[in-house]
Amino acid sequence: MLLALDVGNTNTVLGLFNLDGPKASNTLAGHWRVSTHRTQTADEYGVLFTNLFEMHGLATSRVRHIIISSVVPPVESTLLQVCERYFHLKPLFVEPGIKTGMPVLVDNPSELGADRLVNCIGAFEKYGGPSIVVDFGTATTFDVLSAKGEYLGGIITPGLGISADALFSRAARLGRVDIRRPAKVIGTNTVAHIQSGLYYGYIGLVDGILERMIAEMQQDPRSGLAVDTSLPEASIKILATGGLAHLIAEDSRYISTIDDMLTLDGLRLVFERNQPAPDKPQRPRRR
């Protein structure tokens, strides 16, 4: 089995893939989302992972390969110890020099976060291009792919949770509220006012950015789009993933698909692309 780990600033997502059979039959045997703790020890992570596996009737001994994407450098050395101590394996990290199969057409490709890269690899493999991938995490990221599967660039904005935290910490008389879709836009009490502002304000941010990105892509020959402003939604596939994707995408005018497993699928694809080619059977010599 393949253990795929995506380490984000807020959460770490784990996925176990069954690699038996042809690539097309690879299945996700289990997946979990846990909090990312920068100070947690290797043993604490190891016990957590082992318990998660056991709850689903899975043994750590079944793991034969591990791949990790991380945007939290302090956790990487800890996870390396976990892999070596509890799984007796050396993990493959998504980092510069790894084979991805995706040209990254930006000023400094090494700056692109590993999670964003694997999202795009999974998106192009599953949905094709041109496309935009929106990942609702600690930060909300927008990433653009061409029709040929090239990474063209993107945008980073503060995530909805960060925006809410800033409001609550700087406004002394405003208490914390649940972030959710309010019954109507115009609220009639303070809680509803805050919820509407956070929810619809963030949808306005997302759709406003997507509208401008679509317009710019239609004028960029690298995207592979014909210049046509009549049906932008039909021309570009707009995908969402991340913890808050379901909440925000419900009222977005542009997001058409939500894929919770996009990052894990991208990690599996990167793992496959970095495996040695199987040896070709030698033909018997003629006598």
Q: Is 135 annotated as a binding residue?
A: yes
Q: Is 12 annotated as a binding residue?
A: yes
Q: Is 47 annotated as a binding residue?
A: no
Give the pair of three-digit tokens for residue 90: 């050396």
- The residue annotated as part of the active site, out of 115, 143, 259, 265, is 115
String of DSSP letters for 104-151: B-SS-GGGS-HHHHHHHHHHHHHH-SSEEEEEESSEEEEEEE-TTS-E
Q: Is 9 annotated as a binding residue?
A: yes
Q: Is 11 annotated as a binding residue?
A: yes
Amino acid at 181: R
User: What gap in Å lies between CA 18 and CA 27, rounded to an integer?
Assistant: 5
Q: Is 141 annotated as a binding residue?
A: no
User: What gap in Å lies between CA 175 and CA 164, rounded to an integer?
Assistant: 11
User: What gap in Å lies between CA 94 and CA 225, rounded to an integer?
Assistant: 30
User: What gap in Å lies between CA 97 and CA 109, rounded to an integer?
Assistant: 11
Q: Is 229 annotated as a binding residue?
A: no
User: What gap in Å lies between CA 43 and CA 86, rounded to an integer?
Assistant: 9
CA torsion, points 60, 54, 17, 122, in degrees to nearest 10?
Answer: -110
Sequence-distant (≥ 6) Cβ neighbours of residue 152 within 8 angstroms: 105, 106, 144, 145, 146, 217, 220, 222, 223
Q: Is 8 annotated as a binding residue?
A: yes
Give the pair of three-digit tokens for residue 233: 């939604």
> Please, what's the b/e burial string for 68-102 (b: 16 or more CB within 10 A of its CB; e: otherwise)?
bbbbbeebeebbbebbeebbeeebbbbeeebebeb
Active site residue 207: no
Q: Which residues are designated catalytic?
A: 115
Known binding-site residue numbers for ATP: 6-13, 138
Known binding-site residue numbers: 6-13, 113-116, 135, 138, 190
Known binding-site residue numbers for substrate: 113-116, 190
Known binding-site residue numbers for K(+): 135
